[in-house]
């Protein structure tokens, strides 16, 4: 099996939060190193690391880069007005000259739905309805709004026609089935074990066939990957990552080694090959901002990883 994959990276916050200069330097470095894309998640109501508005941060990055693609791993549709979301996405695609990849999601944080007055049980229905409005708006179709149903047209439209690539973050069988019904690529949870991912992708591809959708060749996977010859550092990092996993996402019997790829070059290479061969990965998104890892160590790991991937 061919092992050509696109290697991407997520941003990581500084001690002071999301300052434009530090964030843009990360993206410039990632572009110079040859990464395919630079990604930000969405999360709310935490500490200085929270990202409630990933498109705003990526707009700053768009001004300081010109080649690297810009992505969101989980732009949450149920908590947004679909027309406003469609406008913001189109503006960022314009700013970046068509470099946006829009990863969309439903969300899993109960506090977020409560804060935005969204019933958690409606998130899947709202996700699908809002996405349908956004797709129509990006196609340039009139969208009926208000009590009298006056049509409005989106402007500007995205550079990428009819819209930027859409990937859907999904967790659980119902979410997988919904992604497949839309015929869109599925972006898995970053902490599900390889064995679970293999079953998920099998279920997803079966659901694609049952929905009458064509095969999807884009298979993105997000993983924690860190290359180091220091066994002590590797062990410390695994322990820190274990403590960071949210209680709602912990699974009995699942260790960091089941979803993290942390070790020397030979170990990382072998595990990457296993992932690529078992899942037919097209894109690997490497998580940044690992606990206790400074910028210098992070960049050393990224450089080693690029070398490993180029040698596959």
Cα(93)–Cα(97) distance, rounded to whole angstroms?
6
Q: What is the mean pLDDT of residues 128-132?
A: 97
For 99-103, 136-140, 144-148, which range has the lowest pLDDT when averaged over its residues? Answer: 144-148
User: Tell me: the pLDDT tens digits for 246-279?
Assistant: 655 556 667 888 899 999 999 999 999 999 999 9
Task: Name the nearest CA neighbour of 77 among 114, 111, 118.
Answer: 118
Q: What is the mean pLDDT of residues 296-301?
A: 93
User: What separation, in Å, do the N-terminal and C-terminal C-alpha atoms of the chain show?
Assistant: 11
Predicted local distance difference test score (pLDDT) of residue 1: 35
CATH of 6-310, one of 3.20.20.30, 3.30.360.10, 3.30.70.420, 3.30.980.10: 3.20.20.30
Q: What is the mean pLDDT of residues 107-126?
A: 91
Q: Half-sphere exposure of residue 134, counting CA atoms within 13 Å on the CB side?
A: 26
Instruction: Give helix 295-310 / helix 20-33 axis angle, nearest 10°.
Output: 20
How far from chain centre, in Å, is Cα 56? 16
Q: Which residues pair with 283 in a beta bridge?
A: 6, 220
Mean pLDDT, all residues of the chain: 92
Residue partners of 55: CB distance under 8 A and separation at least 6:
72, 75, 88, 89, 92
Number of Cβ within 10 Å of residue 303's Cβ equals 12
Rg, Å, the chain Cα set: 19
Q: Which two tokens stand for residue 295?
A: 């910028």
Backbone dihedral angles phi then psi of residue 14, each to the nearest 5 degrees: -85, 180
């Amino acid at each position: 099996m061919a092992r050509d994959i696109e290697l991407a990276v997520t941003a990581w916050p500084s001690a002071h939060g999301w300052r434009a200069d530090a964030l843009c330097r990360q993206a410039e470095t990632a572009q110079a190193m040859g990464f395919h894309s630079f990604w930000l998640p969405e999360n709310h109501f935490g500490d200085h690391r929270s990202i409630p508005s990933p498109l705003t941060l990526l707009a700053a990055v768009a001004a300081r880069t010109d080649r690297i693609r810009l992505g969101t791993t989980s732009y949450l549709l149920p908590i947004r007005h679909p027309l406003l979301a469609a406008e913001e996405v189109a503006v960022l695609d314009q700013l970046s000259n068509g470099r946006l990849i829009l990863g969309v999601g439903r969300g899993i944080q109960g506090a977020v739905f409560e804060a935005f007055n969204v019933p958690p049980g409606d998130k899947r229905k709202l996700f699908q309805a809002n996405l349908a409005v956004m797709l129509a708006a990006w196609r340039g179709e009139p969208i009926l709004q208000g009590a009298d149903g006056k049509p409005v047209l989106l402007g500007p439209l995205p550079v990428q026609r009819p819209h930027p690539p859409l990937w859907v973050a999904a967790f659980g069988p119902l979410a997988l089935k919904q992604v497949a019904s839309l015929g869109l690529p599925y972006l898995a949870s970053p902490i599900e074990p390889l064995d679970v991912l293999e079953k998920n992708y099998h279920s997803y591809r079966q659901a694609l066939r049952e929905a009458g959708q064509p095969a999807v060749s884009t298979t993105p996977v997000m993983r924690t990957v860190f290359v180091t010859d220091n066994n002590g550092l590797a062990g410390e990092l695994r322990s820190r990552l274990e403590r960071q996993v949210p209680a709602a996402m912990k699974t009995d019997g699942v260790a960091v080694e089941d979803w993290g790829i942390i070790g020397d070059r030979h170990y990382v290479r072998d595990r990457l090959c296993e992932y690529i061969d078992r899942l037919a990965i097209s894109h690997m998104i490497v998580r940044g901002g690992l606990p206790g890892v400074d910028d210098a160590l992070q960049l050393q790991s990224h450089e080693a990883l690029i070398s490993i991937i180029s040698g596959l």
